[in-house]
A and B are shown apart, each in its own frame.
Chain A
Amino acid sequence: MTPEERFDALIGEDLKIEPRDPMPDAYRATMIRQIAQHAHSEVIGMQPEGNWITRAPSLKRKAILIAKVQDEAGHGLYLYSAAETLGVSRAELVDLLHEGRQKYSSIFNYPTLTWADIGAIGWLVDGAAITNQVMLTRTSYGPYSRAMIRICKEESFHQRQGYEIMRVLSEGTDAQRAMAQDALDRWWWPSLMMFGPPDAESTHTVQSMAWKIKLETNDQLRQRFIDATVPQAEYLGLKVPDPDLAWNTETGHYDVGPIDWDEFWSVVKGDGPCNKERSAHKVGVWEEHAWVREAAAAHAAKARTAAASA
């Protein structure tokens, strides 16, 4: 069996590809790019929520938010480790992120203006991420699949705490209810865009599905998210900001109005409300804390020397 035949046979039998298996260069490159983007997204994703840690409305909410943000840091680390099994170094991936040469999910380029945004992010952004990540637990690359299983176990808490914030606000004063509605208005469409361009324009979907990296298309996942989320909004008594939203008895799914793909592309290309702020903050913190990495390395080197001469 040639290495190509072996790879195709493993994929054909729904078996996982593991780090030292032969794999087509393009599969390796696709996997690295996808896992790196995912890792960067987890890390940058801490910023919009971190923005509210010091202003959480109670000690309980503050503790929960810190735990959630810490989970996202962990998710980033699991994913960088998975990427490294493909032969790239985390240091290089982080450099590429800092230089703007690799992207993270555009959803994190929107601002968190009120406390209700923390609720909307957990409910909608983590909700959309879960829809995608549950599929990815079955992806063909072993280390990525295992990272996803771990992450999915932790994500459920993220979505539930977000929905609970929205529920408490929806059952609160008129001002709190308005705040919740405003957050839904601003986060609904960007959340739908998280699934990526429509299938007709998504060029690499076919190859990714042939390699079983993805098992469902962008539009299928988006529809699943919409169908699950609309009734949750109804329960809260909030209105999904889409005049065309309607239940379709024939398809058994919700129909939605057109998504503004121009907005999507403008944020991807760097012109979202917070693109510059997010990168500047990430690079700034990295540089500011270089001394911690240097001190840890110096300490380790000194301990090694001491051990060698003992």
Chain B
Amino acid sequence: MSYDVPRTDDEVDPTLAGTEGSPLWEVFIRADRGLNHVHVGSLHAPDAATALHHARDVYTRRKEGVSIWVVPSSAITATDPHDATDWFGSEHPYRHPTFYEIPEEVGHM
């Protein structure tokens, strides 16, 4: 397929040494007034001000946003996908409106 070049003898696979070089930043963009900032991706930059400039160039070439946040990737604490069932698993159907039966005669509620 397009960018899938067959393997040749001189090819080498990268190590899994992790990120190095300039710090990684997570980018959040507010698409318009009244909307949340939403995560759109990440980028490398030496400092926050440069990260903002890069974020504008990389992620908002077509007016995708009116506001940008950049956050050092290292500052993010995340849930562990292994524990997903413990964190998000329990069902509480009675928290949803469809759990309750309202007689048709009562009409919309």
Contacts and interface: CB of A to CB of B under 8 A. Distances in A.
Interface of A: 18, 20-22, 28-29, 32-34, 36-38, 41, 67, 70-71, 74, 77-78, 81, 84, 86-93, 96, 99-106, 128-129, 131-133, 135, 146-147, 150, 154, 194-197, 202, 214, 218, 221, 268-269, 293, 296-297, 299-300, 303-304
A150 B61 CA distance: 12
Closest 7 CB pairs of A and B: A132-B2, A300-B46, A300-B47, A101-B12, A103-B5, A38-B3, A91-B21
A20 to B, nearest CB: 5
A291 to B, nearest CB: 14
Interface string B65-98: 0000000000000101110000000000000000
Given A90-B21, A221-B1, A81 B8 contact: no
A296 B20 CA distance: 16
B15 to A, nearest CB: 7
Contacts, number: 131
A89 B21 contact: yes
B34 interface: no
Interface residues of B, number: 38
A268 B46 contact: no
A36 B4 CA distance: 10
Contact of A128 (B2, B8, B45, B59): B2
B58 A74 contact: yes
A29 B13 contact: yes
Contacts of A96: 12, 14
Contact of B42 (A84, A132, A154, A303): A84
Given A84-B42, A132-B3, A299-B47, A103 B16 contact: no
Given A74-B59, A99-B12, 18 more contacts: A18-B81, A37-B3, A38-B2, A38-B4, A70-B61, A78-B41, A81-B42, A91-B21, A93-B14, A101-B11, A102-B12, A103-B11, A105-B5, A106-B5, A196-B6, A221-B1, A299-B47, A300-B46
Interface in B1-60: 1-6, 8, 10-22, 24, 41-47, 50, 57-59
B1 A196 contact: yes
Q: Counting chain B CB atoms within 10 Å of each CB, which of A88, A89, A297 scores highest?
A: A89
B60 to A, nearest CB: 10
13 contacts: A20-B80, A22-B82, A88-B16, A89-B18, A89-B20, A92-B14, A92-B17, A93-B14, A103-B5, A105-B2, A194-B2, A296-B47, A299-B46
B77 to A, nearest CB: 13
Contact of A41 (B3, B8, B43, B44): B3
A87 B41 CA distance: 15
B61 to A, nearest CB: 7
B1 A74 contact: no
